[in-house]
Amino acid sequence: MIKIREAFEGKKAFIAYLMAGDPGLAASAEYILTAQEAGADLIEIGIPFSDPIAEGEVIQAASVRALNAGTRLDGVFEMVASIKDRMRIPAVFMTYLNPVFVYGYDRFFARCAEIGISGAIIPDLPFEEQGEVKTVAAKYGVEIVTLVAPTSEKRAAEIARNAEGFIYLVSSMGVTGVRDEITADLPAIVSELRKSARVPIAVGFGISTPEQVKRVSAAADGVIVGSALVRVVAQYGTEAGRALFHTIEAMKGV
């Protein structure tokens, strides 16, 4: 299993989010490899969920497309397993807690370890509830990536001290999705977090342009781009490879 840490070594990490099963699992496998080729340093693989309460319209719609295409958790595992040997960068799952809980924590994280998934981002699992999941995930060497929001305030230090993998700093209020303005005072929040954090800090939610990537990367250790890539897949369907490659390349600002 490739450690999450490697994505941040000697560089600002570009983290690409893609929804598994959108528009189908075969296409997802191709697009994950495309993102790697285009220079992504870490891949976040979304597990589609019926009720993604932290997502904006773009990722909600991707979830619906994936589920309507018949994507099931077992299929997502198989898809990731099928490209395991070609992955040179770490990959993590982004999933709501219920699919993990229902599958069984032990069974889920054992499967993650088998197929080379290094971590999981679970947006409806705040710090206070992480204990039951972290202890099981740790048995299999899977790290639980925690989120920090502009509203975390006095809880942020405690969260940062206990963070694994990397800290996912939510850029601004609201759900995921493309925004014109990244409202939070990022440099101030990042430097405050660094006092307690032992892991890198990556910023996500609403980052969609090369300029935003550049600005956010300057302030933090990495940047997460989701909706802007999912929108490319939505537009081109099974033919999105080329456009995806160019989008990532442009954002990385090579």
Binding site for another protein (CB under 8 A): 49-51, 53-54, 56, 60, 67, 72-74, 97-103, 123-129, 146-153, 155, 159, 170, 173-175
Q: How many residues does the chain have?
A: 254
CB 163 → another protein: shortest distance, Å? 12
Nearer of residues 129 and 239 to another protein, judged by Cβ: 129
CA 23/CA 205 separation, integer angstroms: 22
Nearer of residues 93 and 127 to another protein, judged by Cβ: 127
CB 149 → another protein: shortest distance, Å? 4
Nearer of residues 10 and 131 to another protein, judged by Cβ: 131
The amino acid sitting at 44 is E
CB 50 → another protein: shortest distance, Å? 4
CB 76 → another protein: shortest distance, Å? 10
CB 204 → another protein: shortest distance, Å? 12
Residue 67 neighbours by CB distance under 10 Å: 15
Nearer of residues 162 and 249 to another protein, judged by Cβ: 162
Please answer whether residues 16 and 30 qualify as being in contact, where contact means their C-beta atoms are separated by less than 8 angstroms: no
The amino acid sitting at 154 is K
Nearer of residues 155 and 194 to another protein, judged by Cβ: 155
Nearer of residues 32 and 59 to another protein, judged by Cβ: 59
CA 139/CA 159 separation, integer angstroms: 21
Nearer of residues 87 and 216 to another protein, judged by Cβ: 216
CB 65 → another protein: shortest distance, Å? 13
Query: What does the block give as tokens for 66?
Result: 């994936």
CA 97/CA 120 separation, integer angstroms: 10
CB 175 → another protein: shortest distance, Å? 5
CA 112/CA 106 separation, integer angstroms: 10
Measured over the CA atoms of residue 252, residue 2, residue 32 and residue 127, the dihedral's sign is negative
CA 249/CA 109 separation, integer angstroms: 32
Nearest residue to 141 via CA among 168, 167, 111? 111
C-alpha count within 13 angstroms, C-beta hemisphere, residue 52: 23
Please answer whether residues 77 and 24 qualify as being in contact, where contact means their C-beta atoms are separated by less than 8 angstroms: no
